[in-house]
Amino acid sequence: MSIGLGVLLELRSEPSRSPEQPHAAEPSWRFADGRPAHPYGPRDAERAIIRLRGAPSTLAVVWRTGDAELATGQGLILWRRAADSWRAVYSRRLNRRKYAHARIYKADLTGDGRQDVLLEEDQGGTAACGTWRVLAPEAAGVRQVFRRSSCETWYTARNGTLLVNEPVGPCPQTGGAIHCFGGRRLHRLKWNGERFERTSTRVTCYRDNLDPRNQCRRRQA
- Could you tell me the pTM of the whole model? 0.79
How many Cα atoms sit within 13 Å of 177 on the Cβ side? 2
Sign of the CA dihedral running 108, 109, 113, 119:
negative
Please list the ranges in the chain whose pLDDT falls under 50.
1-26
pLDDT digit string (tens) for 31-78? 666 666 666 566 667 777 888 988 778 888 888 777 655 656 788 889
Query: b/e map of 162-178 (b: 16 or more CB within 10 Å)?
Result: bebeebbbeebeeeeee
pLDDT of amino acid 25:
40
- Torsion of Cα atoms, 31 then 35 then 40 then 41, to 10°: -100
CB burial readout 182-210, b (16+ within 10 A) else e: bbbbbbbbebeeeebeeeeeebebeeeeb
DSSP 34: S
Cβ atoms of 169 and 215 within 8 Å: the answer is yes
Q: Contact at 8 Å (CB) between 182 and 171?
A: yes
